[in-house]
A and B are shown apart, each in its own frame.
Chain A
Amino acid sequence: AQSVTQLDSHVSVSEGTPVLLRCNYSSSYSPSLFWYVQHPNKGLQLLLKYTSAATLVKGINGFEAEFKKSETSFHLTKPSAHMSDAAEYFCVVRIYSSASKIIFGSGTRLSIRP
């Protein structure tokens, strides 16, 4: 069965320090993996995606994620947090050719301390 686990429901970091949002997945197939960000009462915006090309994926706003098949992980990182990064982040796994196999993680709320 396919699943996505976001290990932390809430992460709080100080402005200017690194961000790490963890995501582990389970899939019987080669998945595509995505990170989306959602600001309060807004729709979701794509940060980055992995689709079996380079394992280190760079996204918008300085975020990047590394696909590690041996660890079944796709953690999201940013070297230096900014106040505008405060939002909800969703890890998503998608299985080839079936829209029904879109699985969202439960989300991680990122707070930034001044």
Chain B
Amino acid sequence: SQTIHQWPATLVQPVGSPLSLECTVEGTSNPNLYWYRQAAGRGLQLLFYSVGIGQISSEVPQNLSASRPQDRQFILSSKKLLLSDSGFYLCAWSVPPLGASDTQYFGPGTRLTVL
């Protein structure tokens, strides 16, 4: 069966510090991968998605970046965090090919607080 992991589960970082959140998927090959951010009291915002190694599509201009160094690894990064980067970050995967009926399977999330 497929599982998706995210770490760390919680993170408190000062403004201006770097960020690296990791997501890995087990039990499937070449998944579509997604990063979302959920701000307090709001819905989810798609940040990045990837259909393959090294292929990243950005949905929202911001100081975050994403990378996919391996087939089942998706990393969210920042060189300098802003206060507005605080939120709940969710990684998700879906079965390729990309399509409207894809079911997305979500990881447990990372709670990021920037102080």
User: Which positions in A face B, CB cutoff 8 Å?
Assistant: 31-32, 34, 36, 41-46, 49, 51, 90, 94-100, 102, 104-107
Contact check: which of A43, A46, A99, A105 meets B107 at CB < 8 Å?
Answer: A43
Q: Does B45 contact A (CB under 8 A)?
A: yes
User: Cα distance A46–B34 when bound, in Å?
Assistant: 15
Whether the Cβ atoms of A106 and B32 lie closer than 8 Å is no
User: Cα distance A50–B23 when bound, in Å?
Assistant: 28
Shortest distance from the beta carbon of A56 to any chain B beta carbon, whole Å:
17
> Can you show 18 pairs from A to B with CB atoms below 8 A apart?
A34-B103, A36-B106, A41-B109, A41-B111, A43-B106, A43-B108, A44-B90, A46-B103, A51-B100, A51-B101, A90-B43, A97-B100, A98-B98, A99-B34, A99-B98, A100-B49, A100-B59, A106-B43
User: Which positions in B face A, CB cutoff 8 Å?
Assistant: 32, 34, 36, 41-46, 49, 51, 57, 59, 88, 90, 92, 98-109, 111
Chain A binding surface SS class: loop
Whether the Cβ atoms of A32 and B101 lie closer than 8 Å is yes
Please indicate the chain A residues that have their CB under 8 angstroms from the CB of B44 in the complex.
Answer: 44, 90, 104
Whether the Cβ atoms of B111 and A95 lie closer than 8 Å is no
Q: A41-B109, A44-B106 are in contact. Are A96 and B100 (CB under 8 A)?
A: yes
Please indicate the chain A residues that have their CB under 8 angstroms from the CB of B41 in the complex.
Answer: 107
Please indicate the chain B residues that have their CB under 8 angstroms from the CB of A100 in the complex.
Answer: 46, 49, 57, 59
User: Cα distance A94–B46 when bound, in Å?
Assistant: 12
Shortest distance from the beta carbon of A37 to any chain B beta carbon, whole Å:
11
